[in-house]
């Protein structure tokens, strides 16, 4: 994803002229910026956490031991990557990601492992995936955290990530999902709603709006490529858009001015902190968030498959062309061990293959099944 230029927009501030400061009057009023500027740290901590989790997943993966040396960048030893034909993003196997907490609908619904809706946000499929997401997080998140603080940015990131996971789980039933893209789209969506709810505080607002919309459309369009979970992007974007109305509402300048009256000056008529439309947007967004998340969680736990009620929705995540296919076949295999021969049949493609392996471990079977089905 590309960082939005709108992240660099500044609030138009019309500072009142301060009264003269007298050296013998310690109570003299000084001019201060309208809005507090925060020192960013939560975004950097999130990025560092994702890097650490990726390193741990590579350590657990241990490609040389599980693949008999057929690994990419074998000089890295235990941290070597899976063969490129299995994972072109330079990362671990699907079996390792599943073990580390990747989103798998079957395990969430039937295995009661709802924690995967959160843990999948911290996992990444490879170095390429991790690098793109963390660069976008730093470009977008640091400026937002400077404006709104670590609490609000942290909540928007986590809740948007959860929203992306829920949307993904309702539509993608046959493969696992990992990545922070849903949370990142949530930050972009919150920027859009922040611009709308604080419309009167910005200069060049139309240009900023068009820029943000363009960035969102381009990034969603990239999501129709294969192996990209665009449903997580859409769910995160919608969640972040609604959260921006709730989390990023700013007081009006007139309300701040009346609190900065110097001693001896006549106070101005009392102004409201927020405009009416801001309250309306706040209330509507809060209701939609609560209702939306509640309905999504209930449907997911009941095993609801959204594709059964929307025959065209799968095109939102992948559009087949002459150059690629959208393979949604499940990566499950029928296993038969006969002496020193392991027979696997992919249930989604009915492809069969035999391997000269005696007493194959479950990790080895999962790895071979993933290769066979892909």
Look at residue 19 in the predicted model and tell me its pLDDT.
Answer: 39
Say yes or no to pLDDT of 364 above 80: no
Pair (278, 338) in one structural domain: no
- Single out the catalytic residue among 165, 175, 181, 193: 181
Could you report the per-residue pLDDT of 268-286, keeping only the tens digit for each?
565 788 889 999 999 999 9
308 with 354, same domain: the answer is no
One domain for residues 148 and 242: yes
> Is 293 a member of any domain?
yes
Both 162 and 188 in one domain: the answer is: yes
- Same domain for 91 and 187? yes
Shared domain for 65 and 103, answered yes or no, is yes
| Residue 167 belongs to a domain | yes
How many structural domains does the chain have? 2
The residue segments making up the domain with residue 155 are 39-252+273-315
Same domain for 336 and 310, yes or no, is no
**68 given a catalytic annotation:** no
Indicate the average pLDDT of the chain. Answer: 84
294: domain CATH number is 1.20.1540.10
Residues 175 and 62 in one domain: yes
91-141 pLDDT per residue, tens:
999 889 999 999 999 899 988 999 999 999 999 999 999 999 999 999 999
Q: Does residue 11 lie within any of the structural domains?
A: no
Is 259 or 43 the better-scoring residue by pLDDT? 43
Examine residue 1 and state whether it is found in any structural domain, yes or no: no
Same domain, 337 and 299: no
Domain membership flag for residue 262: no
| Active-site choice (168, 233, 314, 317) | 233
User: Do 86 and 371 meet the contact criterion of CB atoms below 8 Å apart?
Assistant: yes
Task: Identify whether 34 is part of a domain.
Answer: no
260 is a domain residue: no
Among 22-26, 160-164, 198-202, 333-337, the least confident range: 22-26
Q: Are residues 48 and 91 in the same domain?
A: yes
**Shared domain check, 104 and 193:** yes
* Residue 239 sits in the same domain as residue 343: no
- Do the domain assignments include residue 164? yes
Catalytic site includes residue 160: no
């Amino acid at each position: 994803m590309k960082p939005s230029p709108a992240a660099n927009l500044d609030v138009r501030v019309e500072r009142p002229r301060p009264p003269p400061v007298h050296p013998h009057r310690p109570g003299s009023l000084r001019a201060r910026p309208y809005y507090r500027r925060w020192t960013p740290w939560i975004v950097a901590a999130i990025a560092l956490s994702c890097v650490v989790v990726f390193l741990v997943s590579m350590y657990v993966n241990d490609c040389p031991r599980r693949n008999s040396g057929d690994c990419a960048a074998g000089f890295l030893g235990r941290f070597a990557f899976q063969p490129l034909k299995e994972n072109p993003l330079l990362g671990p196997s699907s079996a390792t990601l599943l073990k580390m907490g990747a989103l798998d609908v079957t395990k969430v619904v039937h295995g009661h492992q709802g924690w995967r809706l959160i843990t999948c946000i911290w996992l990444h499929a490879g170095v390429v995936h991790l690098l793109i997401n963390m660069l976008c997080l730093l470009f977008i998140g640091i400026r937002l955290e400077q404006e709104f603080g670590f609490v609000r940015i942290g909540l928007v990131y986590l809740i948007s990530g959860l929203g992306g996971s829920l949307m993904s789980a309702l539509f993608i039933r046959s493969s696992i999902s990992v990545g922070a893209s849903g949370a990142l789209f949530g930050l972009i969506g919150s920027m859009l709603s922040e611009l709308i709810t604080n419309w009167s505080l910005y200069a060049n607002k139309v240009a900023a709006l068009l820029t943000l919309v363009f960035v969102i459309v381009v990034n969603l369009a990239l999501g129709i490529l294969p192996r990209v979970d665009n449903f997580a992007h859409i769910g995160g974007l919608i969640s972040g858009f609604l959260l921006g109305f709730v989390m990023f509402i700013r007081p009006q300048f007139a309300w701040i001015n009346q609190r900065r009256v110097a001693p001896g000056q006549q106070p101005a008529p009392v102004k409201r902190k927020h405009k009416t439309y801001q309250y309306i947007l706040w209330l509507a967004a809060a209701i939609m968030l609560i209702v939306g998340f509640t309905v999504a969680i209930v449907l997911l736990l009941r095993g609801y498959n959204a594709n059964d009620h929307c025959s065209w929705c799968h095109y939102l995540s992948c559009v087949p062309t002459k150059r690629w296919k959208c393979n949604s076949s499940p990566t499950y295999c029928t296993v038969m061990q006969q002496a020193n021969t392991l027979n696997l049949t992919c249930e989604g493609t009915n492809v069969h293959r035999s391997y000269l392996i005696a007493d194959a471990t479950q990790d080895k079977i999962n790895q071979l099944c993933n290769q066979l089905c892909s």
